[in-house]
């Protein structure tokens, strides 16, 4: 049972905040049926069928060296994302953005559920990219129907030049999208009154940096997660639960 006092504290902070950042990770989409990457029920705890760390199999160099092997794991992600849909947590975050016109979402997720739930694209930073549309690495032609390509032999090939297709997603050992990074740091420079971390271990520097900056500046920080992370003890409020269980309640107080 989540602490009602912490819920009210967090809701009050969000209500009075002008600039808000919601950071989301795989835990948010777990209630849509998607596996998390690590931790309890993690898809990538351990090694792949080939005995490789997932960081090797699902990497930019592997896509170039062995496209079929890399696409085996891209296809797992793609099938999972296409088989699910946004949950109440996604819709509550979109509603928070409607009520708070300076509320931004920074997501590590590539499933597209924030867009589908109604989060405005102009205030959505998809720092790890998206799974669609596919594009050809050779000629740049787009192939929008991810689902159709997953029904065919892998890797999917371009209808124009027969080059290997790929999604605009950040694989391991690849650089983050420059535009998304620029937007993130522009908004961080303006400062946030409150940061809400939802379903992420915040293990990457560009994910936990907004929380650290906000805390140092005297802003409010809160975390929603079923299990504590390295950052939980430093938060103003740690709500030990799923986003699905509490996000709607938080937004209802605003």
Closest C-alpha among 35, 66, 34, 41 to residue 52: 66
d(CA 4, CA 112): 31
CB proximity list for 204: less than 8 A, separation 6 or greater: 108
Catalytic option among 16, 47, 114, 128: 128
Q: Report the b/e string of 200-230 with b at 16+ CB within 10 A.
A: bbbeeebbbebbebbbeeebbbbbbbbeebe
Q: Give Rg (Cα) of the chain.
A: 19
Residue 90 annotated among the catalytic residues of the structure: no
Backbone φ and ψ for 225, nearest 5 degrees, come out as -160, 145
d(CA 229, CA 227): 7
* 140: three-class secondary structure by DSSP: coil
Beta strands in 75-193 (DSSP E): 103-107, 124-126, 134-136, 142-143, 165-166
d(CA 237, CA 57): 37
Q: Report the b/e string of 43-58 with b at 16+ CB within 10 A.
A: bbeeebeeeeebebbb
Residues carrying an active site annotation: 128
């Amino acid at each position: 049972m989540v602490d009602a006092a912490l819920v009210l504290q967090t809701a009050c902070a969000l209500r009075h905040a002008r600039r808000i950042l919601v950071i989301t990770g795989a835990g948010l989409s777990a209630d849509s049926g998607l596996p998390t990457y690590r931790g309890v029920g993690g898809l990538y705890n351990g090694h792949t069928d080939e005995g490789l760390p997932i960081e090797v199999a699902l990497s930019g160099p592997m896509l170039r060296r062995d496209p079929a092997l890399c696409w085996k794991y891209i296809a797992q992600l793609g099938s999972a994302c296409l088989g699910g849909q946004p949950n109440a947590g996604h819709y509550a975050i979109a509603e928070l953005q409607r009520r708070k016109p300076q509320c931004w979402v920074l997501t590590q997720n590539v499933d597209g559920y924030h867009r589908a739930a109604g989060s405005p694209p102009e205030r959505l930073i998809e720092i790890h990219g998206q799974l669609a549309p596919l594009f050809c690495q050779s000629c740049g032609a787009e192939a929008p129907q991810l689902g159709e390509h997953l029904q065919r032999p892998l890797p999917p090939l371009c209808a124009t030049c027969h080059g290997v297709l790929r999604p605009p997603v950040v694989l391991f050992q690849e650089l983050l999208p420059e535009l998304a990074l620029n937007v993130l740091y522009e908004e961080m420079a303006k400062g946030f009154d409150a940061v809400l971390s939802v379903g992420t271990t915040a293990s990457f520097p560009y994910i936990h940096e907004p929380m650290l900056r906000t805390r140092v500046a005297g802003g409010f920080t809160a975390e929603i997660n079923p299990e504590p992370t390295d950052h939980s003890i430093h938060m103003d409020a740690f709500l030990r639960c799923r986003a699905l269980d509490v996000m709607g309640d938080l937004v209802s107080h605003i």
